[in-house]
Structure 1
């Protein structure tokens, strides 16, 4: 649990830093994507799904779909694998994984460096990032109090841009020191090496409420950050879409069914995640609380609109993503494969498709 924060912010950091390994992987392996499907002894098509980090409730629909037989019912044998060191996005781009959990923000970042990947289903429909200090730190009452303090960061330009905007919107200058997170952001704050850091309301926020340390948190939309930074969903490669659209549709439909089941039956889905991901050592009470937070906060969409058909579960929020992309471009957070700043934002409409939800 203590390392789960790495899933959001380190994955974004990997994307935004544009490391040499990532750049070489995209340029050298981007065209070697092998999407040829193989079958197992039962005649099922083998598919690999890569986690974005450790198993958590963001991944829960895939685990439910596997447990409930939704994948096998459409002829798929899905292997859920740990994230590659260079990130799930690169693994999908290079054909190491067929699908992965990511978000449109990361897809946009990788696209600026030459990757050919696309989001085919968006689970989370609104931001869940929270930027927090320990509640015991009484000097921080709002984001402007981050001014001159130390930020526990994984090093991304994106996080810097978000914090700067939040501070300035709250009336501060937007200046802060930084320290790289060690074992976990919680530990970095508790050891007083930093004053504030980033978390997920649906995971670390729940952890803090249940087990401590208590946090004092602020959300991006309340302090001037536009759009949706947390467009979490399922990605695949452009090559897989073009060469095997039937496979993509089967995977998306079964995965969508898994997430819909989890949204409607959160406690049962929590038990399934705990059972299907034993190495994660997840506590059932914690996972159930996380799912309750997701359901109560309508993070995956308005259940009433899903029920009456006015919102299709899994729809990509390209408008919210584009607003956030434009903000990052204005803040010079994008760089190309040579680490040169790109001023033009990626286009969300070209990086997502809803065609497989129907």
Structure 2
């Protein structure tokens, strides 16, 4: 899931309520723990889930410690993980290239150093019980449960228009969760993620009728989820960035090849999230089966390195958003030129 700057953001039930207001504890680059390890802060971007799992696995397996790091995983600050990293209140965080691009356009200095998700997982859904919605064109004139971003409006409009509709819809702001907003009848459709809420709906309900972006005219990868840091940290402590990135990369590699064990580690290491083992295992299996983190055969033969930032598919998505006037600067003035992915992502710290 994305940060709430972007509308496909936090649809997970209770995610905001559970995580808001617990901020990182200040800059950690210069501090060391009692055991001589360098203290490092990694900030979640919402409640703990399988998008974060590589960090939990790396910590559990001692791979951060092997690199001389004492990593503290902290809940998202109210201003957001990106803001915390940019301000130096966290060293690293989970985010995605879309958010990094939008924050940097507004004056931030962030960089993604590892991209775990290689294809879109967003799904746009109505309740299955809403028989009036059979395809995106049926969303015309309906009410969208939104978190309020220009990005999601552009995506929904394009999907409806590609399916033959006008792309006109009403909006209501999500309350406690998108599920609850739909079930209350206040909205007809909203955004979820196939690898998390989609699994939740399959296992526990409510049943959903969903549409995916690539099937309805939205180009590129909107969901290039990964690990970010600040340009300042890269400049002042590139060795720290390399150590954290490669240990995290190892964690995601392990999770992709040992999904059940990794799921069990997440449940154990994030007790505050009250995750069910069966649910987290199903989420990881969905990621593996859908090859969301890359083609396992290519990872095995070395032709693809898990964690590699993709500069092509996200750029197609950024160009689409620019065409739709979805970008604004810090003064809310529309920016017509798309940001360049090569300006805010790097593969230089990955292990090969």
TM-score calculated relative to the size of structure 1:
0.92
Deviation at 1:12, TM superposition (A): 1.9
Residue aligning to 1:50: 43
Aligned partner (choices 253, 257, 263) of residue 250 of structure 2: 257
Aligned partner (choices 264, 270, 273) of residue 280 of structure 1: 273
Deviation at 1:37, TM superposition (A): 2.4
RMSD of equivalent CA atoms: 1.3
Report the Cα distance in structure 2 between the residues aligned to 1:54 and 1:139, rounded to whole angstroms. Answer: 33
After TM superposition, the structure 1 = structure 2 runs for residues 145-184 of structure 1, keeping only pairs within 5 Å, are: 145-184=138-177
Residue aligning to 1:111: 104
Report the Cα distance in structure 1 between the residues aligned to 2:7 and 2:190, rounded to whole angstroms. Answer: 14
* Structure 2 portions without partners, runs of 5+: 10-25
Report the Cα distance in structure 1 between the residues aligned to 2:229 and 2:67, rounded to whole angstroms. Answer: 18
After TM superposition, the structure 1 = structure 2 runs for residues 183-198 of structure 1, keeping only pairs within 5 Å, are: 183-198=176-191
Deviation at 1:36, TM superposition (A): 3.8
After TM superposition, the structure 1 = structure 2 runs for residues 11-50 of structure 1, keeping only pairs within 5 Å, are: 11-13=5-7, 36-50=29-43
Report the Cα distance in structure 2 between the residues aligned to 1:258 and 1:296, rounded to whole angstroms. Answer: 18
After TM superposition, the structure 1 = structure 2 runs for residues 90-129 of structure 1, keeping only pairs within 5 Å, are: 90-129=83-122
Deviation at 1:317, TM superposition (A): 1.1
Aligned partner (choices 301, 316, 334) of residue 323 of structure 1: 316
User: Do residues 211 (structure 1) and 204 (structure 2) align?
Assistant: yes
Deviation at 1:224, TM superposition (A): 0.3
Report the Cα distance in structure 2 between the residues aligned to 1:36 and 1:256, rounded to whole angstroms. Answer: 20
Deviation at 1:295, TM superposition (A): 0.3
Report the Cα distance in structure 1 between the residues aligned to 2:188 and 2:7, rounded to whole angstroms. Answer: 19
Runs of 4+, deviation exceeding 6 Å? none
Report the Cα distance in structure 1 between the residues aligned to 2:5 and 2:329, rounded to whole angstroms. Answer: 17
Report the Cα distance in structure 2 between the residues aligned to 1:49 and 1:348, rounded to whole angstroms. Answer: 23
Residue aligning to 2:349: 356
Residue aligning to 2:2: 8
Residue aligning to 1:64: 57
Q: Secondary structure at the match of 1:318?
A: coil
Deviation at 1:9, TM superposition (A): 5.9
* Structure 1 portions without partners, runs of 5+: 1-6, 16-32
Residue aligning to 2:23: none
Deviation at 1:11, TM superposition (A): 4.3
Q: Secondary structure at the match of 1:8?
A: coil
